[in-house]
Structure 1
Amino acid sequence: MFGRLRTSFSRFRHSMRVEAAPGRGNQTHNLFESAAAHVIACAEDDQEPMDEASTWVSPEALSFGVSEPACRAVIALAREHDESPRTVARTHLGLPVA
C-alpha cells in the first residue's frame, strides 16, 4: 500500500515540475504563470501563445493551474454581482440556473 502511495506521489511531484521554456535560456515558468498565459491566450483566441504556454509545464500541472484562476474568477464575479458562484458559473456557461 505504501509503495502505491509513494509511486502516486512521485508521479504527481514529477508532473508539477517546472521546466525551462525552449529558447529562453535558464528562465523557468511558475505553474500559475503558465496557467495565466494559457487562459489569456484562450480568451484572446490566439493559438500560438496558447501552445507556447502549454509547453512550460506538464499537461496535468497546466490543467490544475487553469482550474485555480477559473475558480477565482467565478468567485470574484459572484461577489461583484452579489450572486452565488453556482449561478454565475452556470450563467456564463450558458446553462439554466438550477
Structure 2
Amino acid sequence: MWARVRKSCARLLRSLRVEADTRKDTRTHNLFEAAAVYVSARAEDDQEQVDEAAGWVSPEALSFGVSELACRAVIALARERDESPQTVARDLLGIPAA
C-alpha cells in the first residue's frame, strides 16, 4: 500500500516539475526589449521586474539600450512640445535653461 502512495506522490511531483519547466520563458530577449522593460519597471518601482530585465542581457548592452531609449524619448517629447531636445532634457532633469 505504501508503495502505491509513494509512486503516486512521485508522479505528482514529476508532473508539477514538468509543468513548471514548460511555463518558463525560454525565448531570448534583445537589448531594446530589456531596456524597455527595465525602464518601465524602474518608473513603476517594480524591483522584481527590474532584476529580471537586467538579467536578460549584459550590463553593457542594457546600458546602451537605456541610453538609446532615453534619446528616442527626448526626441519624441521635443517634437510633441515643439521644443529643442536640449530644452526638454534639461526640463526633465530639473536643470535651469542654459
Equivalent-residue separation in structure 2 for 1:24 and 1:44 (angstroms): 22
Matched residues, percent identical?
73
Q: TM-score, normalised by structure 1?
A: 0.74
1:71 matched residue in structure 2: 71
Q: Write the letter of the residue equivalent to 2:65.
A: G
How far the C-alpha of 1:73 sits from its partner, in A, is 0.5
Equivalent-residue separation in structure 1 for 2:88 and 2:45 (angstroms): 22
Equivalent-residue separation in structure 1 for 2:52 and 2:69 (angstroms): 19
Which of these two proteins has the greater Rg computed from alpha carbons? 2
Cα deviation, 1:42-92, whole Å, max 9, x if unaligned, reads: 111111100100000000000000011110000011011111000000001
2:43 matched residue in structure 1: 43
Q: Secondary structure at the match of 2:97?
A: coil
Larger helix proportion, structure 1 or 2?
A: 2
1:24 matched residue in structure 2: 25
Alignment coverage as a number of residue pairs: 75
- For structure 2, the 5+ residue unaligned runs are 1-23
1:91 matched residue in structure 2: 91
Cα deviation, 1:12-32, whole Å, max 9, x if unaligned, reads: xxxxxxxxxxx423x100110
Segments of 4+ moved more than 3 angstroms: none
Q: Secondary structure at the match of 2:28?
A: coil
- For structure 1, the 5+ residue unaligned runs are 1-22
Q: TM-score, normalised by structure 2?
A: 0.74
1:13 matched residue in structure 2: none
Superposed CA RMSD in Å reads 0.8
